[in-house]
Amino acid sequence: MSKRILIAEDESIIRMDLKMTLQDHGYEVVGEAGDGDRAIELAFLHKPDLILMDIKMPKMNGLKASRIIGEQLDIPILIITAYSQKEFVEKAQQDSVVGYLVKPISEANLIPAIEVALHQSSKAKRLKDSIQHAKQQVEKRKVVERAKGILMSTEHLTEQQAFKKMRDTSMSRQMTMESLAMEIIDLHK
Ligand SMILES: [Mg+2]
């Protein structure tokens, strides 16, 4: 599936140029904003895979818009900046801003920057998912341990017997150990 990109740039010629370059490389441009307010609106509406964000725009500048978007959405943002603003951007570090491109933007700069940004963000997302998964596994284990403890004390079983009983029951009732454990915990509340 092609990656979905939002462009926020107030100069329509640059915006059109970016759009064509992106489309030429198989990206889908899901929205075009000419100011910061609209950029926020479209970011929430389309939840793109990446945002190209100009700094100097009417209504709200791109850095402020990026901060607002970054507070709630997990979308990598590539800042488009004039050379004179370079230092300013480096100081205004934000998690959601994954890089910046200095105008004039050529195809040779744009496409690799986008590929790197997309690659890094998918790596970060995978890492986040695996941490989340590990946390869930720990939670599941805790529930099973608690239910096992309940069985040991209420039915005077050894740890091994309690575990075996839970495993056999979960198999014969075709349910997961966690759901059985939760049932045991509920029964002994
Ligand atoms: Mg501008």
**What pLDDT, in 10s, does the model give residues 137-168?**
999 999 999 999 999 999 999 999 999 999 99
Task: Output the CA 118–ligand 1 centroid distance in Å.
Answer: 23
| pLDDT attached to residue 43 | 97
| Of 92 and 116, the one with more pLDDT | 116
Task: Output the CA 39–ligand 1 centroid distance in Å.
Answer: 13
Task: Output the CA 73–ligand 1 centroid distance in Å.
Answer: 23
Q: What is the pLDDT of residues 53-65, one digit of tens each?
A: 999 999 988 989 9
Question: What band does 69 get if pLDDT is binned at 50, 70 and 90?
Answer: very high
Architecture of the CATH domain 132-187: Orthogonal Bundle (1.10)
Q: Which of 31, 6, 36, 20 is nearest to 105 (CA)?
A: 20
DSSP state of 85: G
Domain ranges of the chain: 4-105, 132-187
Please, is 89 exposed, middle or buried when counting C-beta atoms within 10 Å of its C-beta (0-12, 13-18, 19+)?
Answer: buried
Please give the structure tokens belonging to residue 133: 């998964």
| pLDDT attached to residue 188 | 87
Q: What global pTM score does this model have?
A: 0.74
The H or E element that residue 8 is part of is strand 4-8
Please give the structure tokens belonging to residue 132: 């989340």
Neighbours of ion ligand 1 (CB under 5 A): 10, 54, 56
- How far apart, in whole angstroms, are the C-alpha atoms of residue 81 and residue 68? 18
Q: Which residues, in sequence order, are CB contacts of 31 under 8 Å at separation 6+?
A: 6, 7, 42, 45, 46, 48
pLDDT over 80 at 73, yes or no: yes
Task: Output the CA 12–ligand 1 centroid distance in Å.
Answer: 9
Task: Output the CA 56–ligand 1 centroid distance in Å.
Answer: 4
Percent of the chain with pLDDT over 70: 95
CATH placement of domain 4-105: 3.40.50.2300
Question: What band does 135 get if pLDDT is binned at 50, 70 and 90?
Answer: very high
Task: Output the CA 10–ligand 1 centroid distance in Å.
Answer: 5
| pLDDT attached to residue 92 | 66
| Of 188 and 32, the one with more pLDDT | 32
Task: Output the CA 45–ligand 1 centroid distance in Å.
Answer: 22
Task: Output the CA 11–ligand 1 centroid distance in Å.
Answer: 6
Overall average pLDDT of the 62-72 stretch? 92
| pLDDT attached to residue 96 | 83
Task: Output the CA 106–ligand 1 centroid distance in Å.
Answer: 16
Task: Output the CA 74–ligand 1 centroid distance in Å.
Answer: 24
Task: Output the CA 43–ligand 1 centroid distance in Å.
Answer: 18
Return the minimum-mean-pLDDT range out of 31-35, 80-84, 117-121. Answer: 80-84
pLDDT over 90 at 89, yes or no: no
